[in-house]
A and B are shown apart, each in its own frame.
Chain A
Amino acid sequence: MQFSRNWLGRYVDLPDSAEELADRLTAAGLAVEGLERRGGDVVLDVDVTTNRPDCMNHLGLAREVAVLFDRELRWAPPRLVESGERTRDLVAVELATPDCPEYVARVVRGIEVGPSPGWLREHLEAIGQRSINNVVDVTNFVLWETGQPIHAFDLDKLAGPRIEVRYARAGERLTTLDGESRELTPEVLVIADAERAVALAGIMGGLDSEVTAATRDVLIESAHFDRTAVRLGARRLGMHTDASHRFERGADPGACRAAADRVAELLSEVAGGTIAAGAVESPHPEFFGAFEGTVDLSRLNAFAGVDYPPERVERFYRGLGFAPRPAGDGRLRLTVPSWRYYDFWQRRDDGEVWEADLFEEAMRMFGFDMIPAALPAIGPPDPGASAEHRKRERIRAALAACGCCEAINFAFGHRDADAAFPGLDRIGEPVEIANPLSEQYEVMRRSLLPNLLESARFNQRRGASAVRLFEIGRLFPGGEADEIEAVAVLAGGSSPTAWDRQPPVDLFELKGILESLFERFDGVLEVRPAALAGFVAGTGSEILAGGRSVGYLGQVEEPDAPYPLFAAEVATSALAEAEHPEPVVAPSRFPSIAADLTLTHALEVPWAEIRVAIAEAAVENLSAYGLRERYSGAGVPEGAVNSTIYFLYNAPDRSLTQEEVNEWQASLTGKLQRRFGWRG
């Protein structure tokens, strides 16, 4: 929001340095984001936060400057020369809704519409406002001076003349000042004359009652509108104006009369005319009563962590309009000024203003720089577990150690992609976003794989000869079901050079990555073949934990891919972190003896069965065994396969002899041959 240094200078003596002014305002919560010298003026670009509509005008900002630099604020009440004619004989006002609690109407007659004097034009143009004519410029000036939005009607064009504030009727139309013909709805608050709507309350005037070169008599409107009513109306019409911006944030409910008087004073000065006596003014409503609260200086100091000098605290509150009164024991009784009404509107149940709201005023005037930094002494570490975070970190470390890169994708995706993979524990339809950025992002994901596959394609399009990605993220199973955290791995391809001799990723490499992940969490990966959406037939399997399906893996159905891609998705709940790590087994200090067996068996015999058979044989001192090689082809009968299995014998307390190992191995070989051996 732009402010003119010269304009501010009307109300307060400014420091010579614009930079100093900017720094002090910034340190008090009115961030000056730019200083621009224009002609003989400096324009300040101030970021005024939504809670400070009182500073969205020059007088309000000057008040802050006056307090910060301990200077006088120059602001005299308007001096009016009124005619014998009474305003209430010229216009009637009726408020048909409590959403306009206050309406002040004044009339100035016999004005001459024309160009504005130089000072007025310069002030407005300095802050980027266009000068239109002396009447419009005065209303605009008062808005930027006091913050009170003003509207001027051509009195002759108002039927009655009568003003009614009411909600629009269904189907009612109004052409606004910007030339748009708008259809109104009953949630739009309007100003109407005796016949029709003539302005959008708190947003914009109507074209028909606009002040033109021919206008002689004007009706000045200075009113207060409910901020929610203005916000909803403006939103419904898709409008945002200087007036609505202020009303939505909360205008000063005590400013209506003074601002109307100020407009009348300036109009008679720059456009001539006579001011009708008095104003038509609704009775000042009860609920704008003064808010009060108490600041206990010792509590303020304890809250801030610094000792503030009491006399400066009091001076700050006085300058900001809080009228401090001593209340004994180092306490001050304060009254919130009307221009801060909405900032202090939420009070305690007993009606008192929250002390923190009052503390803020003193703290920001002193600036946060004077508060010394300290670390709190709270005692032992927080009892929270952080277990989920630790688990994710371990998953990341495990998968990165397997050569995978962590991806992060959006948590939403296309509806079609939702059906592409099985997902975990999905229920009914996906959770839909009511206002998606595009159809590409319309439902919450129920599998990490569609977006992760997109990431793989992104890499492939850029020539990646291999991809190894993983992602950890939440799935949204449908309805209000709890979110599920999952981890997905997607890999394929191989290194581009033979020197680095990495074989292309296959299903068992992917499975190995998952086995190693499960092992980190003291688990064993169990799988069961399954037909799964999105995977090449015959390659898919479910991942089981305690007999329950917790995920799946397989070769991705991706016919156009430059190399096969393999993917898995598992609920991280299956990776349970035990409170204490498993104890290790001390290895034997005696030598081991190795043995091999090449078993020719039918292709249909699953390795899992052979493995279980070996385990069940409970061979003495067999410390390790596993698959060394699988071979089918020349020398192996059709329909059979050679599985070469290695065995390692080792005793914890002695050296084994070759003879005893031969005996055990022969007995095991016999059992395996009898059960699985190829019979043609």
Chain B
Amino acid sequence: MTSPLTELAELSRQFAKEAAEVADSAAYEALRVRWLGRKRGIVRQRLAAFKEVPPADRRDYGQAVNKLKVEVETALADLETGLAAGEAPRAPTLDVTLPGRRPLVGAVHPVSRVAADIVDIFTGLGYSVAEGPEIENDYYNFQALNFPPDHPARDTQDTFFLRDGRLLRTHTSPVQIRTMKARRPPIRILCLGRTFRYDNDLRHSPMFHQVEGLAVAEGITFGHLKGTLEAFLKRLFGPATDVRLRPSYFPFTEPSAEVDITCTFCRGDGCRVCSQTGWMEILGAGMVDPRVLEECGIDPDRYSGFAFGLGLDRVAMNRYGIPNIRVLFDNDERLLRQVKR
């Protein structure tokens, strides 16, 4: 025979099960009558059964049956409230449209983003990153790069000079010289960093950033320069980008080329940005001048190489639609935090 206490516990579970199935007020009423009905309600019957319990167990039984009664009454009251509130099942009152609390996330500068992407592309092609000082001397910045003293080619690189006769590097090319003097081919490096020119207007900042690449080995051809630049520029600006090389002049490359890409604004149709040409000038490149190789102790009859350089600031402005270079160095957090990739 089941003990009266076990029977009460079983009833409690039974009630919970039935209460969970109540969906409307008719079902609620049926449940109420079945359990709390004045004559035949289950709880009433159990209360009445009190006198049948052996005296020694009456105290425990009394407590248990009272507990069941409170449980049933409370649950029925809650059910009634819930049904009155629109027949909906009970739910926590939570406004899930409230704004989430976000962790504060920072941002890397647009120029650093672009630099990192370019380093990634060239790391994949087997290049490493080389470093050099920002204060340079005339030899590394000009002479070793085949800019003779008092040559008009220097006019294109307005220079900040220091009182002690040194200068602020006008390009990252001195790092190429330092690397070629320190190592033997094959060499494949990227040099990136701050560069300085005496210039200050909407299009020019006295400080800007360059990345340059250099590859020197036996059998390097102009075709390799083209292939490398095409691979690079299509990765950076998208696979639909066309690349065009035009002969030009830099003292440290021979032959030299200006490199154009399909205008990123009109995709080559011609617009105001590209002066209706469909092309944008993006970088300078060429085969390393044999005089430069020789100056660095590399035999130009045996080795050849190519080099290229571009302004990171211009690429960043182009990528993020930044209208003027000075905005890049305002360090306005409202702008910086928008840079996500």
| A residues with CB within 8 A of B | 26-29, 31, 49-52, 228, 231-232, 248-249, 302-306, 346, 354-357, 359-360, 363-364, 368-369, 371-376, 378-386, 388-389, 393, 396-397, 399-412, 431-437, 441, 444, 452, 455, 458-459, 462, 464, 467-470, 473-474, 476, 479-480, 482-483, 495, 499-502
Set of chain A residues within 8 Å of B249, measured between Cβ atoms: 29, 49-52
Nearest residue (CB) in A for B313 is A408
**Is B224's CB under 8 angstroms from A374's CB?**
yes
Q: Given B189, B196, B219, B255, which contacts A364 in the complex, CB threshold below 8 Å?
A: B255
Q: Contact check, A400 vs B106: say whether CB atoms are below 8 A apart.
A: yes
Give the size of the chain B interface in residues (CB under 8 angstroms): 89
Q: Measured between alpha carbons, how far is A332 from B185 in the docked complex, in Å?
A: 30
Within 8 A of A (CB), among B184-199: 186-189, 192, 194, 196, 198
Whether the Cβ atoms of B130 and A376 lie closer than 8 Å is no
- Decide: A302 near B128, CB < 8 A? Known: A49-B249, A232-B150, A462-B334: no
Which residues of the other chain, A, contact B107 by a CB distance below 8 angstroms? 400, 405-406
Stretch from B28-36, B74-82, B160-168, B266-274 forming part of the interface with A: B160-168
Task: Beyond A386-B129, A406-B109, A433-B163, list 8 extra A-B contacts (CB 8 Å).
Answer: A354-B300, A360-B247, A372-B226, A374-B224, A376-B227, A452-B331, A459-B332, A467-B333
- Give A479 to B337 CA distance when docked, in angstroms: 38
Query: A388-B129, A400-B107 known; A29 and B222 CB under 8 Å?
Result: no
Interface presence of B282 (CB below 8 A): no
Question: Roughly how many angstroms separate A386 CA and B111 CA in the complex, as a whole number?
Answer: 18
Which chain B residue has the least Cβ–Cβ distance from A470? B106
Task: Say which one of B50-58, B64-72, B88-96, B131-139 lies at the interface with A.
Answer: B131-139
Complex interface: chain B residues within 8 A of A373 (CB): 223, 226-227, 230
* A355, A381, A401, A432: the one within 8 Å of B106 (CB): A401
Per the bound structure, the CA–CA distance linking A455 and B246 in Å amounts to: 41
7 A–B contacts, CB within 8 A, in A order: A26-B246, A50-B152, A359-B255, A373-B223, A389-B131, A406-B107, A459-B333
Per-residue A-contact encoding for B128-156, CB less than 8 Å = 1, 0 else: 11110111000000000010101011011
Report yes or no: B331 in contact with A405, Cβ–Cβ below 8 A.
yes
Question: Considering the chains assembled together, what is the distance between the CA atoms of A27 and B105 in angstroms?
Answer: 48
Residue of B nearest to A432 (CB): B163
A406 touches B336 (CB 8 A): yes
From known contacts A382-B186, A385-B128, A434-B163, infer whether A371 and B153 are also in contact, taking CB-CB under 8 Å: no
Most buried by A among B127, B152, B333: B333
A399 CB, min distance to chain B CBs, angstroms: 6
A360 contacts B254, C-beta separation under 8 Å: yes
- Nearest to A355 among chain B residues (CB) is B290
A458 with B332, Cβ < 8 A, contacts A406-B112, A432-B162 known: yes
Is B289 close to A, CB under 8 A? yes
Residue among A228, A306, A435, A501 with the most chain B CB within 10 A?
A: A435
Given known contacts A368-B226, A433-B160, is B247 in contact with A346 (CB within 8 Å)?
A: no
Q: Is the CB of B255 within 8 A of A483?
A: no
The residue on A at minimum CB distance from B119 is A389
Contact partner, B219, options A27, A49, A302, A400, Cβ 8 Å: A302
Interchain CA distance A228-B217 in the complex, whole Å: 36
A410 touches B207 (CB 8 A): yes
| Complex contacts, B99 vs chain A, CB 8 Å | 499
Is B25 in the interface zone, CB < 8 Å from A?
A: no
Q: How far is the CA of A434 from the CA of B160 in the complex (A)?
A: 7
B224 touching A375 by the CB < 8 A rule?
yes
A228 to B152, alpha carbons, bound, how many Å?
A: 9
Q: Which residue of A lies closest to B196 (CB)?
A: A411
Contacts of B186 in A (CB 8 A): 378-379, 382
Q: What is the bound-complex CA distance between A497 and B133, given in angstroms? A: 45
Nearest 3 pairs between A and B by C-beta? A305-B223, A384-B128, A29-B247
Q: Say whether A50 contacts B153, CB under 8 Å.
A: yes
| A531–chain B nearest beta-carbon distance, Å | 29
Q: Select the residue from A356, A403, A435, A452 with max chain B CB neighbours within 10 A.
A: A356
| B180 at the A interface (CB under 8 A) | no
B164 touches A480 (CB 8 A): yes
- Which residues on A sit within 8 Å (CB–CB) of B287? 303, 356
The yes or no answer to B328 lying at the interface (CB within 8 A) is: yes
Asked if B224 contacts A431 (CB within 8 A), the reply is no
CA distance A343 to B68 in the complex (A): 107
CA distance A389 to B192 in the complex (A): 9
Of residues 234 through 274 on chain B, the ones whose CB sits less than 8 Å from some CB of chain A are 244-249, 254-255, 257-258
Taken together as a complex, chains A and B put the C-alpha atoms of A452 and B109 apart, in Å, by 14
Tell me if B102 and A29 are in contact (CB < 8 A).
no
Smallest beta-carbon distance A405→chain B, Å: 4
Given known pairs A405-B337, A483-B133, A483-B134, the reply for A378 and B188 (CB within 8 Å) is: yes
Contact flags B210-240 to A (C-beta < 8 A → 1, else 0): 0000010101111110111011000000000
CB of A474 within 8 A of CB of B255, answer: no
Measured CB to CB, the closest approach of chain A to B57, in angstroms, equals 37
CB-based contact B221/A368 at 8 Å = no
Q: Are B217 and A431 in contact (CB under 8 A)?
A: no
Q: Identify A437's interface contact among B128, B200, B222, CB under 8 A.
A: B200
A231 contacts which of B103, B150, B300 (Cβ < 8 Å)?
Answer: B150
A363 touching B333 in the complex, CB below 8 Å, given contacts A403-B103, A431-B162: no
Closest residue to A363 on the B side, CB-wise? Answer: B255
Q: Tell me which of A231, A354, A404, A408 contacts B329 (CB under 8 A).
A: A408
Q: Give every chain B residue within 8 A of A52 (Cβ-Cβ).
A: 249
With A50-B153, A462-B332 given, is the CB distance from A31 to B129 under 8 Å?
no
In chain B, what residue has the closest Cβ to A229?
B150
**Cβ 8 A contact of A376, one of B135, B194, B215, B258:** B215
Give A239 Cβ to nearest chain B Cβ, in Å: 14
In the complex where A386-B123, A403-B105, A432-B162 touch, is A303 in contact with B221 (Cβ < 8 A)?
A: yes
B291 at the interface (CB under 8 A from A): yes
**Cross-interface CB contact of A380 among B108, B123, B126, cutoff 8 Å:** B126
Which residue from chain A places its CB closest to the CB of B245 in the assembled complex?
A368
Q: CA–CA, A384 to B257, complex, Å?
A: 27
Q: Is the CB of A305 within 8 A of B224?
A: yes
The interface residues of chain A lying within 8 Å CB-to-CB of B257 are: 368
> B304 at the A/B interface (Cβ < 8 Å)?
yes
Task: For residue B179, give the distance in angstroms from its CB to the closest CB of chain A.
Answer: 8
Residues of chain B within 8 A (CB-CB) of A360 are 247, 254-255
CA distance A441 to B217 in the complex (A): 42
A306–B221 Cα gap in the complex (Å)?
Answer: 9
Question: Which residues of A lie under 8 Å from residue B245 when comparing CB positions?
Answer: 368-369
Contacts of B332 in A (CB 8 A): 458-459, 462
Residues of A within 8 A of B217 (CB): 376, 378
Q: Closest residue of chain A to B133, judged by CB?
A: A483
Are A396 and B108 in touch, CB under 8 angstroms? yes
Q: Are A403 and B289 in contact (CB under 8 A)?
A: no
Cβ contact within 8 Å between B228 and A375: yes
Q: Give A306 to B334 CA distance when docked, in angstroms.
A: 51
**A303-B329 contact given A368-B246, A403-B105, A432-B162, CB 8 Å threshold:** no
